[in-house]
Amino acid sequence: MLKHGAHVVITGGGSGVGRELAHKFARAGARVSVLGRRPEPVRAVAQEVGGASATCDVTDAKAVARALEACRAEHGPIAAAIANAGDAPSKPFDRMTAEDFSTALGVNLVGVFNLWQAALPDMKDAGQGRLIAIASTAGLKGYGYVSGYCAAKHGVVGLTRSLALELARTGITVNAICPGFIETPMLQRSLENIVEKTGMTEENARKSLLAGNPQKRFVQPDEVAETAMWLCSDAARSMNGHALSLSGGEV
């Protein structure tokens, strides 16, 4: 589906999985646009891959629309939109505020909605396209102390399945990738949070997070990026409405 020079937009592109996605797609010949809240990291990744960058908060629909307009001016219509931005703050449910919950839904669910809605017209005009969310196994099962994150990721899976049916005859596919714990800066923040709140050593904190993975290893960013590339290939043209678990068999 993605021809050489196709325009791929990636949110949360300044580090971790987003950076890996940008590099993989650029090496495959795509024109890449990297979006994120922090200007320095997204500009750095864009320079690394010879792509475009735009700064925006994915929870702000107007900001996302403006960012995509700037990226279109440089790279043309969008062929694939990968909603990768996310955050997983940890707090017991009875200590969460309504603002905590709204924040978790905003970045992890509303951000997906905003990107996909802003990119969809280009794909409808072209009669083809790929909408991909980097979700989580937290969209397939529950985890303690991240109830807002789990609720948001379950929402992403529901959005994916519903939109896939709406667009099934348009040439556009909609899928979610659901990794387990990925070795990224966000994972490091989670480990530091566990150490701070429980007094565990970092080694034991790592073991606690690995306990649910039958392979006893963290998912690597390149595994997620390669899965996204496959979903953008002709071989995956019948893959629609799926929530693909990359978890070593956890779910």
Catalytic site residues?
A: 149
Work out the burial of residue 184: count CB atoms within 10 Å of its CB; fewer than 13 is exposed, 13-18 middle, 19 or more buried: buried
Nearest to 219, CA basis, from 176, 186, 194: 186
Rounded to whole angstroms, the Cα distance separating 104 from 121 reads 27
133 beta partners: 83, 176
- For the chain, the residue count is 251
What is the full DSSP assignment across 36-99?
Answer: ES-HHHHHHHHHHHT-EEEE--TT-HHHHHHHHHHHHHHH-S-SEEEE---------GGG--HH
> Closest Cα partner for 110 from 78, 153, 161, 65?
153
State the Cα–Cα distance between residues 1 and 79, nearest whole angstrom.
9
For residue 110, the Cα-to-chain-centroid distance in whole angstroms is 12
The answer to whether the CB of 91 falls within 8 A of the CB of 100 is yes
DSSP string, 223-248: HHHHHHHHHTSGGGTT--S-EEEEST
| CB-CB contact of 7 with 75 (8 Å) | yes
* Helix, strand or coil, per DSSP, at residue 30: coil
